[in-house]
Amino acid sequence: MPVTTLLDREIHVDDEGFLTEYDEWDEALGAELAKQIGIEMTDEHWSLIRFLREDFKEKGETATTRRVQAAGGVPTKRQFELFPKKPAKKMAYIAGLPKPHGCV
Amino acid sequence: MPAKKNAPIVPNFGDDEETGRKLAIICSKGNLDMAYPGLILANAALGEGVETHLFFTFWGFDMIAKKRMNDLKFSPTGNTAMHMPIGDVRVPQALAPVPGMQAVATKMLKKQIADLGVPEVPDFLDQIVAAGGHLWGCRMSADMNKFTETDLRDDVEGIISASDFIEKTEGAQLLFI
């Protein structure tokens, strides 16, 4: 697995750049990841990212957009506004989680 | 963009490229099981930033008809691939048309789909529209059913002819389901 450097830290990532170690992430790093993909984080972005982190801890997999709406309470439309075009993957990346596996 | 030396590894979300990729899905079946493939693919395409259009025609028209969309059915009749949820037991075709079998099979399929966290058809279409998907009704199907726009989901953008749909989806990849 590749290692990359962000905020002067060594981070384990997969070939695409998604973090592979849950515990290497903190919010400072999340903010840096967001910057890398051109997302300006607001409180609303953060509450969604925190939901994803908590949900992953509990379920062992990354929430899909469907689950973010059903369990996280953020409507699909809003997710597309906050993380344009590819919300599921962008949210996962900023939250330091693998891409969601679910189809829906 | 040439990578800088020691540049961090960051996924490419394709934001800088305007691919113009479009997907057109023609939904022609109104069985519960055949409603899903188009919806799942549409949802996936939208999640990848692909402009997506769905055209509901023939039996697929039931998916957007207010009176029918909550009541799609699944029948094992003629479906030799249908297995029971446990094991590899097939439903014998002679039993498939037995009264009550369709209701049981529909209930079973709905439960399996719900257990995966996948929404029912009307909810799924809500989600697809929220993600930016476009819904179109087929003119000929509307005429055959004597339906107007008021009989369809409010978010159906219009009842259009086949040639209108072909025109709207110029350059799109096309799926017929």
CA distance A100 to A89: 7
CA distance B18 to B128: 22
For residue B152, the domain's CATH number is 3.40.1260.10
Q: What is the pTM of this model?
A: 0.88
- Residue B8 is nearest to which of A4, A15, A18, comparing CB atoms? A4
Tell me the two tokens of residue A39: 């997302």
Catalytic residues of A: 103
* Identity of the residue numbered B121: V
Query: Which burial class, exposed, middle or buried, applies to B165 when counting CB atoms under 10 A from its CB (0-12, 13-18, 19+)?
Result: buried
Alpha carbon of A83: minimum distance to chain B alpha carbons (Å)? 11
Per the domain annotation, does B15 fall within a domain? no
Q: Which residues of chain B does A93 touch, with a Cβ-Cβ cutoff of 8 Å?
A: 11
Alpha carbon of A8: minimum distance to chain B alpha carbons (Å)? 11
CA distance B86 to B105: 13
Per the domain annotation, does B16 fall within a domain? no
Relative to beta strand B156-160, strand B51-56 is unpaired
User: Do the Cβ atoms of B173 and B20 come closer than 8 Å?
Assistant: no
Per the domain annotation, does B2 fall within a domain? no
**A2 contacts chain B (CB < 8 A):** yes
Per the domain annotation, does B152 fall within a domain? yes
**B112, B77: one domain:** yes
**B126, B162: one domain:** yes
**B41, B52: one domain:** yes
Residues B62-78 have pLDDT tens digits of 999 999 999 999 988 88
**B54, B133: one domain:** yes
What's the complex ipTM? Answer: 0.86
**B91, B56: one domain:** no
**B105, B134: one domain:** no
**B105, B154: one domain:** no
CA distance A68 to A75: 8
Residues A60-97 have pLDDT tens digits of 999 999 999 999 999 999 999 999 999 999 999 999 99
**B75, B34: one domain:** no
**B125, B159: one domain:** yes
CA distance B54 to B39: 9
Tell me the two tokens of residue A54: 């908590």
**B75, B63: one domain:** no
- Which of A87, A57, A59 minimizes the C-alpha distance to A75? A87
- Three-state DSSP at A3 gives strand
Tell me the two tokens of residue B64: 């957007």
Residue B119 gets which letter from DSSP? P
**B64, B124: one domain:** yes
Look at chain B and report how many structural domains it folds into: 2
pLDDT tens per residue across all 177 residues of chain B: 444 456 889 998 887 777 789 999 999 999 999 999 999 999 999 999 999 999 999 999 999 999 999 999 998 888 888 877 777 888 888 888 888 989 988 998 999 899 988 999 999 999 999 999 999 999 999 999 999 999 999 999 999 999 999 999 999 999 999
> What pLDDT is attached to residue B90?
82
Q: Which residues of chain B does A89 touch, with a Cβ-Cβ cutoff of 8 Å?
A: 11, 13, 47
Query: Which burial class, exposed, middle or buried, applies to B177 when counting CB atoms under 10 A from its CB (0-12, 13-18, 19+)?
Result: middle
B63 is in which domain, residue-wise?
22-69+120-177
- Which of B29, B33, B36 minimizes the C-alpha distance to B82? B33
**B136, B49: one domain:** yes
Q: Which residues face B136 on adjacent strands? A: B55
